[in-house]
């Protein structure tokens, strides 16, 4: 049995961790709000730890799934921190949609202690996490990727080695920035069409049979916007963070084109206006408010 620690029982972390609460793994969980870890332990037989250090002690692999790399970094130090519990030869697998620069810094610090690091952000949403069919984008050396594979395999279906540390996070951020571009562009286009007298339903029927279609136009708008359902599956705050990371990667790499920066500014504005709990698709509400039209 391989001992695993999982930290961060949020919307996607919880279903991911469930796959690790069974043989050939033994699982210890830690969550900032202790009640969630206790509840998880009750329903799965995993052990709930009192501190990150307690969770990491004896673990061969520590898996984190937190909002940003900042929170991951904040758990490393101090008497109750991860580093105090992790042994040389163990490995941190970070499934946060984090940022490359912070991950490189974390990897270097852990490396000094003989602890491995792989960034392994996921896509596929909470449904993919429940089904164990996530796509996992991994950054790290090839040997670390192979070592981490059996753990990641428990919740992932498509495992991709992207390159050195941080490249998983870079790829994940660009993927999500494309989602943000699609949501905003589809919302803006449909608002213009609605004001020009074209029903959004008719517009989507045409777009989805034509070259402008995307997952956003085929699924998100018909199911969430036109119905006004706006279910809360992935927080706008997290997408804002992801687009900001992608814009940062583009700046760092001297890509002299403005779309990612502009999208980042639009999603920062939407996040500020709609708050922490809004779903990412609700960004469309901002376009509607600015345009004085509802996409229904």
Binding residues (CB under 6 A) for ligand NDP: these are 8-13, 31-33, 36, 65-67, 71, 74, 96-97, 122-123, 125-126, 233-234, 238
**CB of 129: closest distance to ligand NDP in angstroms?**
7
In the bound complex, which residue of the shown chain has the CB atom lying closest to ligand NDP? 10
Of 93, 260, 126, 284, give the one whose Cα is nearest residue 190.
284
Q: Point out the catalytic residue in the list 172, 195, 201, 241.
A: 172
Of 98 and 187, nearer to ligand NDP (C-beta) is 98
Of 81 and 164, nearer to ligand NDP (C-beta) is 81
Of 65 and 203, nearer to ligand NDP (C-beta) is 65
Rounded-to-integer distance, Cα 293 and Cα 86, Å: 54
**CB of 131: closest distance to ligand NDP in angstroms?**
13
> What Cα–Cα distance (Å) separates residue 138 from each residue in 14, 31, 52, 96, 292?
20, 24, 23, 11, 43
Cβ neighbour number for residue 106 with a 10 Å cutoff? 24
Q: If you write DSSP's letter for every residue of 56-120 in order, what string do you get?
A: HTT-SEEEE--SSHHHHHHTTSSTTSHHHHPPTT-EEEE-S---HHHHHHHHHHHHTTT-EEEE-
Of 66 and 286, nearer to ligand NDP (C-beta) is 66
Q: Is 172 a catalytic residue?
A: yes
Of 124, 147, 146, 148, give the one whose Cα is nearest residue 134.
124
**CB of 239: closest distance to ligand NDP in angstroms?**
8
> What Cα–Cα distance (Å) separates residue 179 from each residue in 26, 174, 223?
36, 9, 16
Element (H, E) at 159: strand 156-163
**CB of 203: closest distance to ligand NDP in angstroms?**
27
First to last CA, the chain: 53
Of 204 and 246, nearer to ligand NDP (C-beta) is 246
Q: Which residue has the tokens 């008497």?
A: 79
**CB of 238: closest distance to ligand NDP in angstroms?**
4
Query: Which residues form the catalytic set?
Result: 172
């Amino acid at each position: 049995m391989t001992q695993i620690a999982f930290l961060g029982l949020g919307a996607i972390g919880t279903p991911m961790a469930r796959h690790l609460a069974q043989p050939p793994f033994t699982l210890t969980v830690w969550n900032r709000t202790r009640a969630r870890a206790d509840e998880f332990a009750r329903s799965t037989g995993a052990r709930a730890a009192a501190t990150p250090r307690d969770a990491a002690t004896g673990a061969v692999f520590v898996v984190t799934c937190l909002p940003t790399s900042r929170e991951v970094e904040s758990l490393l130090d101090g008497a109750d921190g991860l580093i105090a519990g992790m042994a040389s030869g163990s490995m941190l697998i970070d499934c946060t949609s984090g940022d490359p620069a912070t991950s490189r810094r974390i990897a270097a610090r852990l490396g000094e202690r003989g602890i491995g690091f792989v960034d392994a952000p996921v896509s596929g949403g909470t449904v993919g996490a429940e089904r164990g069919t996530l796509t996992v984008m991994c950054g790290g050396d090839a040997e670390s990727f192979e070592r981490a594979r059996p753990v990641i395999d428990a919740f992932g279906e498509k495992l991709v080695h992207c390159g050195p540390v941080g490249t998983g996070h870079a790829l994940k951020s660009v993927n999500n920035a494309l989602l943000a571009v699609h949501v905003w562009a589809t919302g803006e286009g449909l608002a213009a069409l609605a004001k020009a007298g074209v029903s959004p339903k008719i517009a989507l029927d045409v777009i989805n049979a034509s070259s402008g279609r995307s997952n956003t136009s085929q699924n998100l708008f018909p199911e969430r916007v036109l119905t006004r359902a706006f279910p809360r599956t992935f927080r706008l705050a997290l997408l804002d963070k992801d687009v900001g990371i992608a814009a940062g990667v583009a700046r760092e790499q001297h890509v002299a084109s403005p779309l990612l920066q502009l999208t980042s500014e639009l999603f920062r504005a939407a996040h500020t206006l709609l708050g922490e709990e809004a779903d990412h698709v609700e960004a469309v509400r901002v376009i509607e408010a600015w345009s004085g039209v509802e996409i229904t």
